[in-house]
Amino acid sequence: MSKLTRADYPLGQKRADLIYTPTKKSYEELTLDAAIKGEISSSDLRISPETLRMHAEISESLQREQLGQNFRRAAELIKISDERILEIYNALRPNRSTKEELLAIADELENEYEAVENAKLVLEAAEVYERRGILRQEGE
């Protein structure tokens, strides 16, 4: 399949054939009638990693590289529990984690969740926090 571009946006109107939920329901199956009949669950209403990656392609086709990268990182986070994401978010706040703790989070993201782009972000944060002196020190 060729890369998606501005011409494919919005996906729901122009490329609904490509959109599927994490439970593999097509976009067209998400109707009010299906909801009333109980054929749709809350899991059917979540965005899929594939849809996020399609949005990344569209963003990058518009030279919006940072937005595209954000969509790619979001796609990686789908398989991580909301609770763990919140824990990681809190650990990334200044003076909350040691460098070793941030390195362990990066390792977890890469090796347990295959969230390579998110792992890179945490590694970058660890380096920046170290330079700025905003890492928690051992024993604090």
If asked whether residues 47 and 17 sit together in one domain, one would say: yes
- Answer yes or no: do 107 and 126 share one domain: yes
pLDDT at 59: 98
What is the span of the domain harbouring residue 20? 1-78
8 and 65 share one domain: yes
**Do 20 and 1 sit in the same domain of this protein?**
yes
Same domain, 95 and 123: yes
50-71: per-residue pLDDT in tens?
Answer: 999 999 999 999 999 999 999 9
The pLDDT, as a whole number, for residue 86 is: 98
Report in angstroms the alpha-carbon separations of 135 from 88, 110, 123, 124: 15, 21, 13, 13
CATH number for the domain harbouring residue 131? 1.10.1510.20
User: Does 10 lie in the same domain as 62?
Assistant: yes
Q: Which two tokens mark 8? A: 């494919």
Q: How many domains does the chain have?
A: 2
Residues 74 and 117 in one domain: no
- Quick count: other Cβ atoms within 10 Å of Cβ 112? 11
pLDDT, tens digit, 9 for 90 and up, residues 11-30: 999 999 999 999 999 999 99
From 50, 6, 4, 57, select the one nearest 27 (Cα to Cα): 50
Tokens in use for 21?
A: 């939920």
Is residue 80 within 8 Å of residue 118, measured between CB atoms?
no
Do 51 and 15 meet the contact criterion of CB atoms below 8 Å apart? no
- Cis status, amide bond into 10, omega within 30 of 0: yes
pLDDT of residue 138: 83
Q: Are 31 and 7 in contact (CB under 8 A)?
A: no
Model confidence band, residue 1 (pLDDT cutoffs 50, 70, 90): low
- Assess whether 59 and 86 both reside in one domain: no
Predicted TM-score (pTM) of the model is 0.88
